Structure 1
Amino acid sequence: MKFETINPENQEVIKEYTYLTREELHEKLNDSKHAYKYWKDETLEARKFLINNVKELLLTKKLDYANVITEEMGKPISQSIAEVEKCASLCDYYINIVEESLNHREIESEFQKSYVRYDSMGAIFGIMPWNFPFWQVFRYAIPNILVGNVVLLKHAQITTGCSLKMQELFEEAELPHGVFQALVLDKRDTEEVIKNPIVAGVTLTGSEPAGRNVASLAGKYLKKSVMELGGSDPFIVCKDADIVKAAKNAVFSRLINTGQTCISAKRFIVEKEVAEKFISAAIMEIEMIKSGSLLDKDTQIGFMAREDLANTLEKQLEDLEKSGGEILVGGDRDGNFFSPSLVKVDKENTYANYEELFGPIGVVTVVDSEEELIEIANNTPFGLGAAVWSENIEKAEEIAAKIEAGCVAINDFVKSDPRFPFGGVKNSGYGRELSSNALHEFVNIKTVYVK
């Protein structure tokens, strides 16, 4: 069965691909099995050396990789380059912390010796999205490869070229065959991979429905899983905030990656005393956003990655209007291009709380009190990230403690950083990526004691 990848900017066919047959898939699974037998016993120093090779290639060939990202999913080239550079910094981070993180943890006891060790488990199957096609893969692949696991990748169909480019990169960095494999896989064959004995864990970044489906398969076959799903992240602006800075950061967060980011600020919840100033500043920021050729390094906004995604966003905007929302700026569509938009809704309107707007639309709600800020922020099935803006840091931390989310940024916007654990609560998923947590998600935490 064949499929095509399409350039979202001009709708031209990039390339045609063929899904793996069952026979080809099982060959690759066997390759993972054989690679793991060797890789799990490789020294940590050797693994670190090879991941450093990966880092160097990322930096040397970053424009080559960035061009593939931009062509396949439609983000401006400057953002694609930044994504590749971020992957290189992630490699560096894990090279530096992996040894300490995997050291045996001594435990005081009545035994002669007692400790916890961290052993690899097998192949980790990653089902990854198109919106950050390199970063999403690297943040699960690098820590797992360093702990001695091998990696199987099923990428989003529209970024198949990126997945194969990454496999080439790992091979060029001289990692053994089978340690990193990209599977051009029909989603109907997902279960075939998960049930295979070599697969020890499953990690997915994607939509809530996809997460429910894959998590149920992981449960069926008793495989450890991590789910990083959607979000409707609140951006809370208290009346004592620096409003100009808050508006600038709110718009930047909402529009980065053309708004196609799970952790971007989506709901701006603002105290009424500063609402007019915030809205004016936000509109000014939106109107300064530069569109243009994706290969122009000054371009700040790109295209929706697929036509159906643009259709969905257009329908969501119509529904916001029907439910009483007022479009303050933007709201226009031209093919896969959607103009940056800001919609004002009243505080009783919960549409945006329950719908993830995966595109360049921000929703602003004006509230009367600090209690309402928290109440509306938490009135959502999602719990990925949140931001709180206030000059009173103690108060901001008190608000942060009450927010139901995996990450809260104070006087900043939410971002994924290799140093900090990343993940959500409620319908935004479970488990954690990044930081040392990622090195411990898919290992056998083994207790050893000697009498």
Structure 2
Amino acid sequence: MGIASINPTTGEVMKTFDPLTDKELATKLDKAAAAFVIHRETSFAYRAERMIKAAEILEAEKEQFGRMMSLEMGKPIQSAIDETVKSAWACRYYAEHAERFLADETVETSANRSYIRYQPLGPILAIMPWNYPFWQVIRFVAPALMAGNVGLLKHASNVPQSALAVEDVFLRAGFAEGVFQTLLIGAAKVEGILADPRIAAATLTGSEGAGVQVGISAAKAIKKVVLELGGSDPYIVMKSANFAEAVATAVKARVANNGQSCIAAKRFIVEESIADRFEEEFVARMEALKVGDPLDRTTELGPLASTSAVDDLHRDVQKSVDAGARLLTGGKPIPGKGSFYPPTVLTDIPRDSPAYSEEFFGPVATIFRVKDVEEAIHIANDTRFGLGASVWTQDEAERDHLIQELEAGMVFVNKMVASDPRVPFGGVKQSGFGRELGPFGIREFTNVKTVWIEK
């Protein structure tokens, strides 16, 4: 079949694509290398003008792009439209701030003059997942292109229409041919591309397994790589929290993007004195969610991206129940067409079950009860992941203690974890390394050059 768009709501094959031949792939790499020689010498003003145009295209065509994403990977239509608008925001943000972020930085030394200069590296390979078909790409390509790099996108094979649409946005915005290209290829081609001398570095958002493979390939070629991998984000609710806001946000934090988000809250860690109330209200709110066609604007939970995603999720839920976890609601795939899984809640989680240690990529929540803040921190950190954490408390000392002790790349207090162009995004431990977004994100793929002028 090649590379296919399959509607996860109906199971219908919408469109198929032939993967690039080796010759076609080589031509694209040649184009990227040639484009970099020219693009790196363009001014920030030149790049910004085109990046703003890309933002304008995204905003003007948000309905069409949103529908494409909903059909291709199942996200609710309003969420898909919002993703398009957010992508435009990132384009504008880097258009406006890139020159300042990459300006020479004076360093006081004994030299007559010493400073740091940020310069582009070259063609960057981006290996991106399907769960945010536009946003994941834009948050790489906007800073990369504004820094003077060029980009090559190996998108997930189930969102080829989205991958080609993003490339088209940047061409229509006025970026030269070869500055940003989509590669319709399978995963088996990635290692060879990373080894190619025309590729300067890589970034991957995806699974641990994919991260390991890309990390090994990049290390063999001695090339920079940024890895944003899985997360099993804790959502900690202490008795001092604004309870109504905490529980309402908890449901949104778990089922955003149909529960298929690395920064979705997955483990709900609740102080014992409010745990019964939280559990009751959380379960009721999960059960009340409207599951259905993502093109229906009243739908709150659409399908998972594929039937295999349903199978994987259900297998881990069943293993956890078999190990002793207690099922409070859901827990069985929804029969009929499409890749639907119901809102599901587990509690009394055994430490040796998948629910304790694995990332559940779908609308499955786990609830843990703790006696105090120290136990909350212990449970939150008792995972190989360290991406984000959401903390709900109105006690200042408790808040500061949680911020200090949680092993995470991001801590959000009285708010669900979210990505924002203005602040760095990334994790620690098995959640990866490096940062996207903010000033750190644009500097990841630059040569941080020390300049020392003695006389």
What TM-score does the superposition give when structure 1 sets the normalisation length? 0.98
2:165 is aligned to 165
Matched, 1:375 2:378: yes
Matched, 1:206 2:206: yes
- Give the Cα separation in 1 of the matches to 2:9 and 2:142: 31
2:411 to 405, 408, 412: 408
2:363 is aligned to 360
Do the aligned partners of 1:251 and 1:286 also contact (CA within 8 Å) in 2?
Answer: yes
Do the aligned partners of 1:233 and 1:266 also contact (CA within 8 Å) in 2?
Answer: yes
1:81 is aligned to 81
For residues 140-186 of structure 1, what are the alpha-carbon distances to aligned partners after superposition, in whole Å with 9 as ceiling and x for unaligned?
11000001000000000000110001111111111100000000012
1:62 is aligned to 62
- Give the Cα separation in 1 of the matches to 2:349 and 2:22: 53
- Residues 25-36 of structure 1 aligned to structure 2 (within 5 Å): 25-36=25-36
Matched, 1:128 2:128: yes
1:420 is aligned to 423
1:438 is aligned to 441
- Give the Cα separation in 2 of the matches to 1:329 and 1:114: 63
1:345 is aligned to 348
- Residues 38-437 of structure 1 aligned to structure 2 (within 5 Å): 38-334=38-334, 335-346=338-349, 348=351, 351-437=354-440
Deviation at 1:350, TM superposition (A): 5.5
Deviation at 1:346, TM superposition (A): 4.3
Do the aligned partners of 1:232 and 1:352 also contact (CA within 8 Å) in 2?
Answer: no
Deviation at 1:308, TM superposition (A): 0.5
Deviation at 1:291, TM superposition (A): 2.3
- Give the Cα separation in 2 of the matches to 1:328 and 1:417: 34
For residues 292-342 of structure 1, what are the alpha-carbon distances to aligned partners after superposition, in whole Å with 9 as ceiling and x for unaligned?
322122211110101001001111110121121112122232241111111
Matched letter for residue 362 of structure 2: G
Matched letter for residue 81 of structure 2: I
- Give the Cα separation in 2 of the matches to 1:3 and 1:78: 27
- Give the Cα separation in 2 of the matches to 1:316 and 1:248: 26
Deviation at 1:424, TM superposition (A): 0.6
- Give the Cα separation in 2 of the matches to 1:220 and 1:259: 35
- Give the Cα separation in 2 of the matches to 1:374 and 1:51: 42
Deviation at 1:4, TM superposition (A): 2.4
- Give the Cα separation in 2 of the matches to 1:11 and 1:302: 13
Do the aligned partners of 2:320 and 2:353 also contact (CA within 8 Å) in 1?
Answer: no
RMSD, matched Cα:
1.2
- Give the Cα separation in 1 of the matches to 2:205 and 2:142: 16
Q: Which runs of 4 or more aligned residues in structure 1 lie more than 4 Å from their structure 2 counterparts after TM superposition?
A: 346-350
SS at match of 1:5: strand
Do the aligned partners of 1:347 and 1:366 also contact (CA within 8 Å) in 2?
Answer: no
Change (3 A) 1:388 1:350: farther
Matched letter for residue 132 of structure 1: Y
Deviation at 1:97, TM superposition (A): 1.4
For residues 262-301 of structure 1, what are the alpha-carbon distances to aligned partners after superposition, in whole Å with 9 as ceiling and x for unaligned?
0010000111110011111212221332223221222111
SS at match of 1:320: helix
The number of equivalent residue pairs is 451
Matched letter for residue 325 of structure 1: A
Do the aligned partners of 2:373 and 2:398 also contact (CA within 8 Å) in 1?
Answer: no
2:451 is aligned to 448
- Give the Cα separation in 2 of the matches to 1:235 and 1:347: 18
Matched letter for residue 413 of structure 1: M
- Give the Cα separation in 1 of the matches to 2:22 and 2:220: 21
- Give the Cα separation in 1 of the matches to 2:327 and 2:248: 19
SS at match of 2:92: helix
What TM-score does the superposition give when structure 2 sets the normalisation length? 0.97
SS at match of 2:438: coil
